[in-house]
Amino acid sequence: MRRRADEVIGTGAVPLGGESVPAGALPLPVRQLVAHGSPEPVVEEVLRQPPERGEIRLRAAWSLVSPGTELHYLDRSARTGERFVLGYCSAGVVDAVGPQAPGFAPGDRVIAMGWGEAVHSGAVTVPYRLCRRVPDGLDLVDAVVAGLAATAVHAVDRAVLEPADEVAVVGAGMVGQLVAQITAARGARTTLLDLRPERLRTAPALGLAAADGERFFAEESAVPGHGGRCVFLCGTGDAGATVAAAARWAGRAPGRPRLVGVGRFAAHIDFSVELGNLDIRYAARCGAGYRDASYARGLTDVVAPAGEGTVTENLQRALDLIASGAIRPALMGLPRLPLERAAEAYARLRERPAHPAVLFAHGPAAVPEGSAAP
């Protein structure tokens, strides 16, 4: 099941009908970001439709860029001409609730996620199982990070960590930093790795050890007396040499060695006895039920594998980690920009700057020109 498409209206004022119609039943004229045949995003105006069965609509305050995914689709669009609406992490206030969307009411502060649904826009209509209520006292600009943090929660679940395990996280992008904060909060000795020192600048504030990736794997570090080692691979591009070095490092511990892929990367692995005993897993997206339109709208249920969660459960767990302070978005150095500066923001993200992602402000939250964080 997919909802009806929002109507693209271009620019200009939009008549919304008579005053007797409830506000929540009216479409809203809003702007959104799209990839449409160019490596740069385009701002377009659309009518955001009212929620249908199993959906809610929210007036967004903030949305979070997922650099790896969104740059991938911008590049794909530039090659093929395909059109993609960008973004999948939003936070704001509910303005309308569709039928059979339990647990939500107008005025609720919520986070929302979903590719093609919780997009970069001033209002989004999203299946209710991809939304969670934000607790009092938690700022929406911090809460919106839960969308990507759910991916990190799922990746850590897939690793099946033991209490004595040591963890290395390769790639200090957004997901890498979130994975490292979660494993550290679970008590694992965790080191965040990147080849660019500026990407590690926030690690001390987040309570994380940090190191150059090549030197870390090359050095003969002290091997734990018990427990295994796990490497989360959160980078992009050609990772063949990194995977081989990570496998050797993990294999030196007495416990179970594991590699968990999270990012979009390529690697050639020679499987032979020289590789040793090694568990390799990949963590895709953020839990059972994601990109399942029927589950997201409450029409069907899904059962997650043992030790893992549904996307709804993982969103809640991510939000709880932020509320408890185990994940600290405010210390991650995320610039806050108005949507008008989107092209600049994505161009900068292509250069892998010190900041791992960007927050877009919408509506009353829109930041004045020049007020963005460094």
Instruction: Answer whether residue 317 is part of any domain.
Output: no
pLDDT digits (tens, 9 = 90+) for 342-359: 999 999 999 999 999 999
Residue that finishes a domain, picked among 252, 282, 312: 282
Instruction: Answer whether residue 234 is part of any domain.
Output: yes
pLDDT value of residue 15 = 36
94 and 190 housed in the same domain: no
pLDDT digits (tens, 9 = 90+) for 225-263: 789 999 999 988 899 999 999 999 999 999 999 999 998
Q: What is the mean pLDDT of residues 164-190?
A: 96
CA 40, distance to chain mean position in Å, is 20
By the 8 A CB rule, do 253 and 228 touch?
yes
Instruction: Answer whether residue 160 is part of any domain.
Output: yes
| Helix/strand/coil for 215 | helix
| 276 vs 145, more confident | 145
Q: Cα–Cα distance between 177 and 325 in angstroms, integer? A: 14
Q: What percent of the chain has pLDDT over 90?
A: 82
Residue that finishes a domain, picked among 260, 282, 304: 282
The parent domain of residue 232 ranges over 152-282
Backbone angles phi, psi at 105, to 5 degrees: -145, 155
Q: What is the mean pLDDT of residues 71-76?
A: 96
Q: What end-to-end distance do the CA atoms of the chain give, in Å? A: 42
Instruction: Answer whether residue 292 is part of any domain.
Output: no
Quick one: tokens of 79?
Answer: 């090659």
pLDDT value of residue 4 = 58
Q: Cα–Cα distance between 128 and 134 in angstroms, integer? A: 14
Place of tokens 């997919």: 2
Select from 276, 240, 246, 275 the least CA-distant residue to 260.
246
Instruction: Answer whether residue 374 is part of any domain.
Output: no
Pairing of strands 359-361, 55-64: antiparallel
Instruction: Answer whether residue 328 is part of any domain.
Output: no
Inform me whether the pLDDT recorded for 372 exceeds 50.
no
pLDDT value of residue 78 = 97
pLDDT digits (tens, 9 = 90+) for 6-61: 767 663 333 333 344 466 679 999 999 999 999 999 999 999 999 999 999 999 99
169 and 260 housed in the same domain: yes
pLDDT digits (tens, 9 = 90+) for 295-331: 999 999 999 999 999 999 999 999 999 999 999 999 9
pLDDT digits (tens, 9 = 90+) for 92-128: 999 999 999 999 999 999 999 999 999 999 999 999 9
Q: Is 144 exposed, middle or buried, given 0-12, 13-18 or 19+ CB atoms closer than 10 A?
A: buried
Q: Cα–Cα distance between 65 and 174 in angstroms, integer? A: 10
According to DSSP, residue 259 is labeled: E
Number of domain units in the chain: 2
Backbone angles phi, psi at 193, to 5 degrees: -120, 140
For the packed helices 174-185 and 146-159, what is the interaxial angle rounded to 10 degrees? 60
CA angle 270, 275, 280 (to 5 degrees): 85
Q: Which range among 6-10, 95-99, 136-140, 158-162 shows the weakest confidence by mean pLDDT?
A: 6-10
pLDDT digits (tens, 9 = 90+) for 180-233: 999 999 999 999 999 999 999 999 999 999 999 899 998 877 777 789 999 999
Q: Cα–Cα distance between 263 and 311 in angstroms, integer? A: 18
Per-residue burial over 306-337, b if 16 or more Cβ lie within 10 Å, else e, is eebbbbbbbbbbbbbbbbeebbbbeebbbbbb
Handedness of CA 328, 146, 363, 72 (dihedral sign): positive
111 and 206 housed in the same domain: no
Spatial CB neighbours of 40, under 8 Å, sequence gap ≥ 6: 74, 343, 346, 347
What is the pTM for the complete model shown? 0.91
Backbone angles phi, psi at 230, to 5 degrees: -130, 135
160 and 114 housed in the same domain: no
pLDDT value of residue 236 = 87
* CA atoms within 13 Å, Cβ hemisphere of 232: 39
Q: What is the mean pLDDT of residues 278-293?
A: 94
119 and 181 housed in the same domain: no
Place of tokens 């206030």: 93
pLDDT value of residue 226 = 84
For the packed helices 342-349 and 67-80, what is the interaxial angle rounded to 10 degrees? 100
pLDDT value of residue 17 = 37
Q: How many CB atoms lie within 10 A of CB 32?
A: 24
Q: What is the mean pLDDT of residues 127-140?
A: 98
241 and 356 housed in the same domain: no
Pairing of strands 209-212, 189-194: parallel
By the 8 A CB rule, do 47 and 27 touch?
yes
